[in-house]
Structure 1
Amino acid sequence: MSKSRNPLISIIIPVFNIEKYLSEALESLISQTYPYWRGIIIDDGSSDKSSDIADYYAEKDERFTVIHQKNAGVSAARNKGLQNVSGDYVYFFDPDDILHPQTLQIAIKEITSRNYDLVTFGAMKFYEDTALPLAEKTNLKIVDQLSKTELFRLFFEEKYHCQYCKGGYVYTRLYKKEILKNIWFDVTKKVYEDEDFCCKLYRSLDPNFKTLYIDTPLYFYRQRRSGAIRSARIKRLFALYSCRRNMLQYFDKNSEEYKILDKARLTTLIKLMQISLTQGYNGAFSLFRKILLSREDISLKTFLPYLFGPKYARTYSENRLKKSEIKNNRLKYWE
């Protein structure tokens, strides 16, 4: 097949003060076995050496283009990238992560051979001591003919049956350019802008939409210590709860999507309540327990720790968070 007949992928790469990991991320793009891509690096007002590194790679490989702008946040940077895409497909890539060498080749093969509008592949967290599975993939776990509602479950259902593909992350999908027309990131969101974007995209899809997912890790998400700090986790949980609450307005209360999203919001609320109890705040506990009692979509195991009042619930929450922190302390996070 000639070069002109190979689909072109526009890769949107928002960059802000990530000099320590940027080169490794961009090298993982250069190492892709599928060569027909264009990397759009949006330097979002970096004050470290990220701008210089981006410019260096644009000189090193003509497939990279750099756009420098004043700092406006990751959502604005991605929107700038969307305004500059070309070719047939769009992919979002974060500049501290790594792609498997065959990610684009596998994704483009599956999306074109089945004529789908998007394909989802797996992501895997990695720490300083993680051995990344970068060898050639021979056993891809492909699930075909995923319905529109099943895609929504994959986005927002915590216990969805796949292993690596769960979550509303934009970087685990290759998109046909046409389906992203008039879909933008919310520039007011600093975190969980991905979930909001996925929800907007979902609403724009045809009711008979079909897709697939590859439940094999092809994207490697760097786990940094800043995200493991409890204060940062609380802030992110509040943001996630607010995001999911706001997205509920997009759906009818009797719809399957509303039920899925509302349960995801409840899961976030439970995590927030656990942290509040460990900090001695139980003013909202009665209302929280009332909410749990009103639900028919949660198990007795989930509800039981909160049945006997705030004192028992606090002990349970402290034990849960202590176990979580012990586990986190054993992990070798990146700085």
Structure 2
Amino acid sequence: VSVVVPIFNVEKYLNESLNSLKKQTYKEFEVIMIDDASTDNSYRIAEKYLTDKRFKLFKNTVNKGLSGTRNRGIELATGKYIFYFDPDDLLPINLFELLVNEIKLSQSDLLCFNYLKFSDEFPQNVTSIVKKKEFNQIETIKLLLSKKLTPAPWAYLTYLDILKENKLIRFPEGKNFEDITYIPYLITHINKLSLLKFDKGGYYYRVNRKGSITDVNNNLKKLTREINDRVTLDTVKYEYLSKNYEQLTDEIK
């Protein structure tokens, strides 16, 4: 598993987050840490993990944003599978073991799983899958359109070769809401999805962090840009899906 970790000014959370990676019961993984020109101690904290040969550290000389950093991670990745991890979030220690076993067993191209929001306390570890369902590509698109699938890229595991062979499956650089187009692009290049339901969530998503990308502030210029980005990417998504799935015209509209 290649784990892409974009790092930017997360010194308060980085140790805890990287430790949840290091403790994974599944040992065959690489962690591609990319510091996106942080101005705090994030890079120095990340350096400490280089004593573990599975951890690799790179640095952007200028701030590329989340999309540009993840795209660089895709190019640097060498594993069979790819997984995205945000450095203020946490993972249950057995997540990779469960995901790799499931993607092999189901012979799916893509796994999607549920997550748990948290703000302060570390949630309990996940130990079991409650429900599992499988879908073909058309059914998966319908799930996405009906908002029964999350667009968050860290809620998926897929094969790195799919991304390497299809340069379209990248994050739009310089835009907010980068996941709007990434997941639709990815789904159109898979045959089968497995959807997993963990009893306590398979990914622990930290909310209400001051300074995070999703942190709300009342800056009018920032808000205007976010609205423009959202409209632009929704339009791209609409046009792309309309072109490729004429049989789903009503759902797409």
Q: Same fold (TM over 0.5)?
A: yes
Secondary structure of the 1:178 match is: helix
Report the CA distance between 1:229 and its aligned residue.
3.3
Q: Which has the larger radius of gyration?
A: 1
Identity %: 28
Secondary structure of the 1:251 match is: helix
Change (3 A) 1:239 1:144: same
Report the CA distance between 1:220 and its aligned residue.
0.7
1:195 lines up with 2:195 in the alignment:
no
Secondary structure of the 1:196 match is: helix
Change (3 A) 1:131 1:21: closer
Q: What are the Cα deviations for residues 85-105 of structure 1, in whole angstroms up to 9, with x where unaligned? A: 112111111111001111101
If asked which structure has higher relative contact order (CA below 8 Å, sep 6+), I would say 2
Task: Identify the match of residue 196 of structure 2 among 192, 195, 214.
Answer: 214
> RMSD over aligned Cα, in angstroms?
2.2
Report the CA distance between 1:258 and its aligned residue.
4.8
Report the CA distance between 1:179 and its aligned residue.
1.2
Q: What are the Cα deviations for residues 20-72 of structure 1, in whole angstroms up to 9, with x where unaligned? A: 1111110000111111100000111111101101111112x111000111211
Q: Given residue 244 of structure 1, which amino acid in structure 2 is its aligned partner?
A: D
Report the CA distance between 1:167 and its aligned residue.
1.3
Q: 1:244·1:261 contact (CA, 8 Å) conserved in 2?
A: no
Q: Given residue 188 of structure 1, which amino acid in structure 2 is its aligned partner?
A: G
Q: 1:248·1:258 contact (CA, 8 Å) conserved in 2?
A: no
Report the CA distance between 1:142 and its aligned residue.
3.1
1:176 lines up with 2:159 in the alignment:
yes
1:242 lines up with 2:232 in the alignment:
yes
Residue number in structure 1 paired with 2:54? 63
Task: Identify the match of residue 100 of structure 2 among 93, 108, 130.
Answer: 108
Ranges in structure 1 where 5+ consecutive residues have no aligned partner: 1-8, 161-165, 263-335
Where do 1:1-335 residues align within 5 Å?
Answer: 9-59=1-51, 61-70=52-61, 71-128=63-120, 130=121, 132-134=123-125, 136-138=126-128, 140-158=129-147, 160=148, 166-181=149-164, 182=167, 183-189=169-175, 191-205=176-190, 209-216=191-198, 217-226=201-210, 227=214, 229=216, 231=218, 236=226, 239-252=229-242, 255=246, 257-262=248-253
TM-score by length of 1: 0.66
- Number of matched residues? 240
Secondary structure of the 1:184 match is: coil
Report the CA distance between 1:152 and its aligned residue.
2.2
Q: 1:142·1:214 contact (CA, 8 Å) conserved in 2?
A: yes
Q: What are the Cα deviations for residues 288-307 of structure 1, in whole angstroms up to 9, with x where unaligned? A: xxxxxxxxxxxxxxxxxxxx
Q: 2:241·2:252 contact (CA, 8 Å) conserved in 1?
A: no
Ranges in structure 2 where 5+ consecutive residues have no aligned partner: none
